Every structure is written in structure tokens, then in C-alpha cells.
Amino acid sequence: MGPVAWVLLAALGSHISRTVSEAVVCFSDFNEQTGGCSDYLGDGVSEEDCCLNIMYSFKREAHSRCEACRAAEWSQWSAWGPCTVSCLEGVQKRERVCTGQGDCDGDSVEVQACSVKDCCPKEGSWSSWSPWSPCSVTCEKGTTQRTRQCNNPAPICGGICPGSSIETVSCDTRQICPTHGQWGSWGPWGECSSSCIVEGSGVFPPQTRKRECNNPAPSVSPPGRSCGSESHQSKDCTVLPFCPVPGGWGAWKPESECSVTCGIGRIKEKRFCDNPAPKYGGRYCEGPVTRNTMCNTKVGCPTDGHWSSWQPWSPCTRLQDVINCSQKVGTQSRKRVCEEGRFEGNWCESNHKESRNCYNVEGCRLQGKWSEWSAWGLCLPPCGKSERTRKRECEPIYPDYPDHMLNQLGKLVDVFFSGTPNVHCDPINKETLKVEEKRECRNVIAC
């Protein structure tokens, strides 16, 4: 921690008096997908101080799990994982993480059926080998080869034929080829015998390079011609650097005020590579030029309120009148609550209450019609013996009442059916309200 941060903490002495057991490691960000802490701020602060900003996170020990400051909530579902089989039908799963303080309702794992390929690979068989090809050279030894096709029968669904489609063997022409020598390329210049000199000495070491008569080398029997001429070259190293002086870091010095006005922030410090400064190509100081140290404002960060979910609609009524099972229009309303505003954050925008016009069909006997089959549901439970379900439901056929009307201000508004009617559909398998179909999930992950 830098000098400025110590001054701030000393001025707020109550923090320093806290025991080590109350301290946490504080971070300014929380990854909802992985449940991990990021953007380290520092340690030695209390959980209460770190969570003055509810978007922060903390660890109780350096290697313990990350905890978010805000209330518990589910992360987004992960992408669906790979199918448990590469062909035919299997299952795949996805997961989510409960983050924050408290518990989340619901499951952390979902499993659904999947199929990568409708068939499984099947191997094929090879055809007969072709005749051997002519030898690849006209003197000395070469190679000859033969081939075969994977078509007897051909593989299906991505299968293969085991083994190779080509077979190669050596062949001998029993003829000798003479080879004359040729120079290879010059090799790189060798290093100078010394990498640096003392200023003013005037001593320049030599450097050499060579080449080989191997492009190709001359044959012995029958004999080939040699390369001749020179195989080595030498020259002086005319330019060498002075011996380098590595640099060293000076002391850290503060460069900024605390980065935030609420919660936990940072103070920036800087240092210079001047103790000593590097010379003659000497190594520059390794490590960062600046660093951030933690500072504590002891001030909570404002958090704006947010709306809760709407409460259920109230019963559809009209003052001093019975409107149940009739074309008479009533009204109903519902409410919601502004939650979790902190430290003088802004109040929720928009309205906390809304109303609408309605027909009351609570308990009214209505003819119904069967819905189409729903999509197949998730595999439950997500491991072991598991099955999925789809269903059809008896849906009401509402009366042909007008779906809009003019209100007292002369504005056209919608009218909704409200309540749970007594619906009747023609029986399917002796069921009049709901029918279900179940199917076993295959290749489910073991528990």
C-alpha cells in the first residue's frame, strides 16, 4: 500500500482496529458466468466496507470462493454442453451459478435430448492392390509403390478403411551414378570473441565463416570431382558496443488522489528507472512504471431502486353490480414495489400501479378446445434414469365479446377476459383438462 493510502486509513482509525478475522480480500468486479472475482483492489478491509458498493465482490481468504456483495441471483445459463454420444441420440446439459448473499430458487443444471448424427460410422474394405509402379530412379536404388481403393465396400457415415492406401518398397537398378561435388552456401559469420569493449581500447577480435562441399558431396566409386577453392573466410569485427550498464528502479512516489468518491478505490504511484539509469544498451528496469494501491473512502455508493415483479391482477369487478359470466365490463388493478435503493440512490421511474378493463369469467362454464402439443421439456432428473414430457391442454373458447371500448375520455382501450373459467373439452384417454406424453431420455450423464 502506498503512502497516500496509509494517510487515509490512519485518518479513519476505526478500520485499523478491526481484527484479522474480520478482514476480506476486496475486488471491484464479479464475473456472473464463472462466479469468480476480478480486478483486485486489496486486502485488510472489512466485508462491510468492501460492500459499500454492491457491485464489488470479496474473498474471506485468499484461496476461498468468491462472494458477490449484492443479493443472491442466478447467472445466465451457460451454453449447452457437448452431446454424450457422437451418433444416434444422447443428452447435453447446461448450468448456471447462484451468486451473491443467500440462496436462489430453482435448479443449477438442465439436461435435454440431442443428436449429433443420425447414424454411426461403419468401416469399409479395401480393393485388391494395383500392379507395382516402375522404379523411381535409373541408377542406384529408388522406390516403387502400389495402391488400393477403399471401395469394397465403401465406408458409410464417416467411417474409414483401416490401414494405408499406398505401399512403398525399395528397388535396386544395379547401376552406379557418379556424383560431382558442389559448394554449399556460406554459413553465417561466427560471433566475435568478445561481446563488448572498454571505451578507447581499439581492439577488434576476428570472426569467421565456412562452407562445406556437400551440395552434393563427390562420390567415391565411381569417383566424383571435388569442389576446390577456399572453404573458410575471416574478417575483423569493426564495430562493437561498449559494455552495457543495467538500470535500477528509484523509489515509488504518489501520482494521484483516490480514484473514487465512494467505496474502495485506488491511488496511482509511479517510479523511474534512474538508480542508476541504463547506459550503452544496458537492460532497462523490468516491471511496471506505475502501480495502484488501495484507498477507502468510508462512503457508501448510491444504488438506484428497481421494480419488483407485478403482483397478480385483482378480481374483475364493477361497483354495486354483478358482472360475472356476462358482457358487462369491469376493472381490475395490480401493483409492484420499488426495491433495494441504497445510500440515497434514485427512486424507481414510472408507475407502481396499473389498471385495465375486463370481462369476469371466473368459474364460468365455457366450451374448450385442445391446444397443439407443446415442445418436449427438459430431461428430468438431469442425471441417471431420466425422461422428458410434452402436453396438450384444454383451452377456453371465450365469448365473442368486443375486445376494445371507448373510456370516459373518449379513448379506445383494450378489454381483457379475467378469471379462471370452468372449461370442458371432449375427452382424450378419459382426460378432459390436460394430457401428457412422456419419453425416456437416452445416454444420460451418470449421477
pLDDT at 197 over 80: no
Q: Is residue 365 part of a domain?
A: yes
How many separate domains does the chain show?
Answer: 3
pLDDT value, residue 359: 95
Same structural domain for residues 288 and 379?
A: no
Q: How long a stretch of residues is the chain?
A: 447
Residue 201 confidence (pLDDT) above 80 = no
User: CA of 181: how far to CAs of 188, 220, 222, 423, in Å?
Assistant: 21, 11, 13, 102
Contact 119, 87 (CB under 8 A): yes
Looking at residue 392, its pLDDT comes to: 94
Do residue 286 and residue 371 come from a single domain? no
Task: Collapse the DSSP code of 5 into the 3-class scheme (helix H, G, I; strand E, B; otherwise coil) and give the result.
Answer: helix
pLDDT tens, residue by residue, 334-350: 999 988 778 777 888 88
Q: What is the pLDDT of residues 147-181, one digit of tens each?
A: 999 989 999 888 899 989 999 999 888 877 777 87
Q: Is the dihedral of CA 218, 223, 224, 227 positive or negative?
A: positive
**Backbone dihedral angles phi then psi of residue 404, each to the nearest 5 degrees:** -155, 165
Please tell me whether the peptide bond between 402 and the residue prior to it is cis, using omega within 30 degrees of 0.
no
- Please identify, among 44, 74, 104, the residue that sits at the C-terminal boundary of a domain: 74
Residues 276 and 361 in one domain: no
Q: Measuring CA to CA, how many Å separate 174 from each of 171, 177, 220, 222? A: 9, 10, 17, 14
361, 416: one domain: yes
Q: Is the pLDDT of residue 111 over 70?
A: yes
Sheet hosting strand 23-31, strand order edge to edge: 36-46, 23-31, 57-59, 67-68
Residue that terminates a domain, selected from 29, 48, 74:
74
pLDDT for 200 equals 59
Q: Could you tell me the CATH number of the domain that includes residue 13?
A: 3.90.290
Contact 169, 144 (CB under 8 A): yes
- Report the distance separating Cα 423 and Cα 362, nearest Å: 11
3-state secondary structure 189-200: CCCCCCCCECCC
Which residue bears the cell 431502486?
A: 305
Cα gap 70→263, rounded to integer Å: 14
pLDDT in tens, 347-382: 888 888 999 999 999 999 999 999 999 999 999 998
Cell of 57: 465482490
In this structure, is the dihedral angle defined by the CA atoms of residues 172, 176, 177 and 178, taken in order, positive or negative? positive
How much is the mean pLDDT over the chain? 85
**All cell numbers assigned to 72:** 443472491
Residue-range definition of the domain harbouring residue 33? 3-74
Arithmetic mean of pLDDT, 419-437: 92
Global pTM reads 0.50
Give me the percent of the chain exceeding a pLDDT of 70. 94
- Residue 431 placed within a domain: yes
The pLDDT assigned to 316 comes to: 94
8 A C-beta contact, residue 228 and residue 213: no
Q: What is the mean pLDDT of residues 419-433?
A: 92
Say if CB 367 and CB 394 are below 8 A apart: no
Asked if residue 333 and residue 275 are part of one domain, the reply reads no
